[in-house]
Chains A and B, each alone.
Chain A
């Protein structure tokens, strides 16, 4: 790697994984990373190969010294890696201790390494003459087997062992049959599996045992099991072979132990001829192969939505005990799936057991499974993420996430000792409770409503009026106890609670509201509203040393308006008193669906109500004043129900009273900013989450992270919206049922799971999750190819994050990430585009982000700092389409801020935006952002040839003439002028853009373009072409007449198309300029160039270019490049962000610039 270029951070697909006790070893691109499994802490990372990706990691040995030997490989390179723990004396080694890594010498194998197996026995016993502690065998894609032995200097000696039938393989697996022989399963591109064996010594011969036919597409994954007894007596020993393919099936083959067995056509020993596909095999032999194959394929199943990349045994050893074992498959659909193979009377069967979707987009490329009792499964995806979870395979440990229990009405009453009792008045209830007989027929009763009081306690009401308490003690013992039987909740009741306190509220048809206090297990009526309570909403408003203040909103059936009640709970005396009770002036037809309290003062109260029609209302009252007329925030969630509301106080802010956070059944989360004075409530955030439309509530953790919950399909989902990952999913059977939920809050304010209770088919169920359903060891990014990136030129006002990085991908998402110098953190995901993103640009003040895609999608996003969601994002406007059915792509655009009051934080803004389209048209708009609304005015249009335009940039924008630059797939660069376009007129005409000139730079498509303004009239344009060439076009604008353009072309600048460029000015004097350029290409090289320009020389020597640096990048198809805003002081350090298909980003630097 050149000294000019250094990779500081990178996120590319995770292509290899290995589990080593408490460590996870992973590979992305050439980087080897070592994480601590439990804490997810990155212990060490290093660049293990110069210029290629790591495709496999295998554990070789752990020495007595604690050193761990690994073999890593990628393509045809192989390398020994030694991990040396540096543990402090007298402490147990842990993540706090360091790790050192020694890399052996890179060794080149004669072909692409598909599979590698380490010989558990010593290398000595195999008769090979080397004194290593262990050695490995590997198979290349040409079906040739080699052994590799480490030498003293940690280099590797490679010997050819034997060659199987020759053909190109897509997958392979090998296993040491003994310490001196090997069994190979090789998967071909044509769907056959060749099973062969050989001795491990050089010059051995392959014995082809089986040709397995049946798969209808390429074989992508294979695994041979250990020897397993098929009968109780251990007489029949066999191996299973698991395979997966393009045809979406997983197949299990039974390989009998029979060393003399030969595949038809291979009886005379392997001649290295793989005849079947060349048509030489006789029909008879072909039929024999097919017949044998179908008898050996004992089970087959389908499960993934697309191609299956790999299959692994999870607990093959359990076959011995249970005649069953679990398998794991990973696939293109970014899921990992669990399968169970068993043998019953009717033979073997493969059953689908579970499916985990913890990666974004497409493709899980790597997997590691350990063989512990509850095995850990670690997967690495194309999204760059590493996720892990444990699989429960035995019942020794209590599972952390499980369906806790299921009760029928009968079993619940039985547990509460209520079943068949005649009277219940022996419970010593306070006098105001009428003694009620037990239900005549318990079977007719049903679960009415329930609410969690604590994590381990739940209050339940039944239709017959029974109130029962569910409790689970420390030992896991669960019981129900009878609390009360209330006549006025019989037939109808609602329940509500607060997550922070062990209190629950109940109300029934007659208007009495009861409170249950877990502390004394007491149930008391606190007040009465005059009517049947339709909805009960409660919130802990404030808490002082000895008083907790609660606010309740009770809505009533019929024609009565809702009431707002303030209760004071004196913790010492346990009295609950009504402090204040007001009727909220609301039309009876209005449906209240959620509530939160706004700012409260001394005897001053305010409350927000979320409505079914999507509006939010604010009421305030206090002292002797009555309730104000409500302030309405209309259509917060379009016309959909607001299901959750939370208030975040602006605290000491001069301008902002606070923020109203809401979720609704439009599937979005919104934040409205409420000002201190005036009435301009501002929508500062609204983004759609990926959970479908049935969002049912939100929770803001003590750590200020935002969580939402709701239903997606038939599943209940609890989701961390700040980290964009699911915490808990429960198969609940659908949304239309009675349910309740409480998140688990740890002592440090984190959220690790929750409890979900629901009724399904007259059964009451509780699901508990004490830890998140998966852990994220390495966070990932986009799940599909990144097409565009842009870095905000300035830090967002009020934000603690650095300049935001916007990336847009083929998955139609735009992500905003922050970069702290080592890692990328996704701050928000903007979902609105329905096509892949084509281009992204920021406004110069960082307040606006512009994005374009297919179907003429062009969006303006407005960003603000907002608590809890960090960056508030609103899609302010979409550019009107030229026609509704348009399928044009907006491939590029130019934006210039032409506001009069440029840079004012909340002022109006005006932009000149020129877009170029895939049908060769150019359109220019003025866009005015005022009061969070956008107005578009089409100012000018033109049409180039019919070539797709690919690039667009302004050379100058001013009141007189603005100059526009475009490039197209025909390799030409064109200049255009627009007159008077920045003036604001009441009704401007649409004018035609004037063509100034065109020059041919490239032979084919211009794939990247960067412009630097040298002085008023001189510009330098750097272009990267599909023709592998870089173009430097010097452009001179003249006051009159056409501009001058001269081209310096550098053909063969890269070995492949140049897809991204960056250009900046280093030094300049009056007529001399020093510039730096970076180019990125599909050849996976990033090159740095130095350019000097002398404007006084008009001949071809006016521009001089030098190569400065050349580095490899794991980013396979660089699609875009962006420069970080430069620092003001210190050594000049330029960082460049690359974004590309199937990888997030790589940053290069620092470069010392003279």
Chain B
């Protein structure tokens, strides 16, 4: 797909270029923030699997520069007007004037990835493996100059740990789901080591087979667990985000990467909720069938990004004279780059004999 047709097919790809984001995924974090107020009172953040760095960029612009992003950054005005015409509730208009910059004090942001990442002002980047125990002292050191290696926990814990990491999907569903859950466990284990009580954890999750087991385990560590899908995340993708708030490790729990938590290592003891029928304000009857048995739990879903936000699945008409922008950051070199070059040099098919 060319840049121009991608602009039409993917509103957020276009908006990211227009608003200077490294990747369209920046909007996912912004929309999660709009719904969950993630950054309220937050100054110390760890961004895991950060490359190419669009989430770090959001942190940098909001926490360090003090910018604020509202709905207007991704609102489709046409949709808003149409919704009003259909009598659908639409959110109040945001004030048009540019808000003042409100930089926060004592901001500390550490971004970790194995892939190289272009530096961002005010952010410490680490090239390290988040699954590895040796990463913890590296991270603690980066968070706190006076870190004492003899103490395994952070002197000044962090408020928020975020992770947008995903594997290169193979197409073998079970494997992709497994690798993604491993990334989530790795991120969670690291978060458990550095998060302060009451802290938040946001991570990409694949809503697929056995995801209810994952939810149940997260529920043991956090007071509130939601699964959320921002409007900027395509409906056709199985990705969603777990938003875990109110970190509350069980009594006696000791986090460590030497002995990480894994599936079913924490008994998920939850009081199952009984079926409940309620009538909502808008007249919709909601029938909650109650919790699952056998250690499964389905986290409540919360869509985020207002309905007047651009729809990542819709096709938009663009003005004829529109200039198609280049991406802010060119895509990183794929592992098969050399293969493509060699193939081109050999005239198409590596110069190999054709199949029989």
Contact = CB atoms under 8 A, between A and B. Distances in A.
Interface in B246-293: 262, 277, 279, 282-289
Interface stretch (A538-546, A687-695, A1021-1029): A1021-1029
A307 interface: yes
A845 B215 CA distance: 47
A1054 B211 CA distance: 10
Contact of B356 (A247, A731, A1029): A731
A1091 to B, nearest CB: 11
Nearest to B86: A998
B238 A948 contact: no
Contacts of B287: 1048-1050, 1105
Among A15, A353, A1083, the one with the most B-chain Cβ atoms within 10 Å of its Cβ is A1083
A302 B209 CA distance: 35
B312 to A, nearest CB: 8
Interface in A1055-1096: 1055-1057, 1082-1084
Contacts of B289: 1050, 1052-1053, 1107
Interface in B164-217: 167-168, 170-174, 178-179, 182, 186, 207-212, 215
A194 to B, nearest CB: 14
A481 interface: no
Interface stretch (B14-22, B39-47, B124-132): B124-132
B298 A1142 contact: no
B288 A1052 contact: yes
A1054 B227 CA distance: 13
B354 A247 contact: no
A1005 interface: yes
The majority secondary structure among interface residues of chain B is loop
B235 A1005 contact: yes
A714 B354 contact: yes
Contact of B314 (A305, A713, A947): A947
A55 interface: yes
Contact of B302 (A55, A354, A715, A1003): A1003
A141 B337 CA distance: 27
Interface in B230-248: 231, 235, 238
B134 A275 contact: yes
Counting chain A CB atoms within 10 Å of each CB, which of B78, B215, B301 scores highest? Answer: B301
B108 interface: no
B277 A1100 contact: yes
Interface string A945-958: 11110100000000
Contacts of B342: 302
Main secondary structure of the interface of A (DSSP, over half): loop
A293 B46 CA distance: 35
A679 interface: no
A920 interface: yes
Given A945-B82, A1100-B285, A273 B314 contact: no
Contact of A217 (B131, B208, B286, B335): B335
A1047 B343 contact: no
A274 interface: yes
A918 B314 contact: yes
Interface stretch (A197-205, A222-230, A276-284): A276-284
Nearest to A1027: B301
B356 A382 contact: no
B79 interface: yes
B182 A168 contact: yes
Contacts of B314: 918-920, 946-948, 969
A788 B337 CA distance: 35
B211 A1055 contact: yes
A1007 interface: yes
Contact of A335 (B282, B300, B355): B355
Interface string B340-356: 00110000011011111
Interface in A1080-1126: 1082-1084, 1100-1101, 1103, 1105, 1107, 1116-1117
Interface string B314-356: 1111000000000000000011111100110000011011111
Contacts of B285: 1046-1049, 1100, 1103
Choose among B131, B231, B279, B355 the residue with the greatest number of A CB atoms under 10 Å from its CB: B355
A387 interface: no
A947 B354 contact: no
Interface string A518-558: 00000000000000000000000000000000000000000
Interface stretch (A357-365, A463-471, A817-825, A978-986): A357-365
B174 A53 contact: yes
B356 A356 contact: yes
Contacts of A305: 349
B207 A1057 contact: yes
A972 interface: yes
A772 to B, nearest CB: 13
A944 interface: yes
B179 A168 contact: yes
B209 A166 contact: no
B24 interface: no
Contacts of A1103: 285
A190 B307 CA distance: 40
B339 A249 contact: yes
A713 B316 contact: no
B79 A945 contact: yes
A168 B168 CA distance: 14
A1048 B287 CA distance: 7
A1051 interface: yes
A355 B352 contact: yes
B355 A356 contact: yes
B314 to A, nearest CB: 4
A714 B354 CA distance: 9
Contacts of B5: 887
A919 B301 contact: no
A112 interface: yes
21 contacts: A167-B131, A190-B114, A215-B335, A216-B336, A273-B134, A302-B350, A354-B353, A355-B352, A773-B356, A943-B82, A945-B86, A946-B76, A950-B313, A1028-B298, A1047-B285, A1049-B286, A1050-B289, A1056-B211, A1082-B208, A1083-B211, A1100-B279
Across the A-B interface, the 9 shortest Cβ-Cβ residue pairs: A217-B335, A355-B355, A248-B339, A1003-B303, A1056-B207, A1116-B173, A945-B82, A1100-B285, A948-B314
Given A278-B138, A1004-B231, A1142-B171, 9 more contacts: A279-B128, A357-B355, A887-B315, A919-B314, A969-B311, A1029-B301, A1050-B288, A1107-B289, A1141-B173
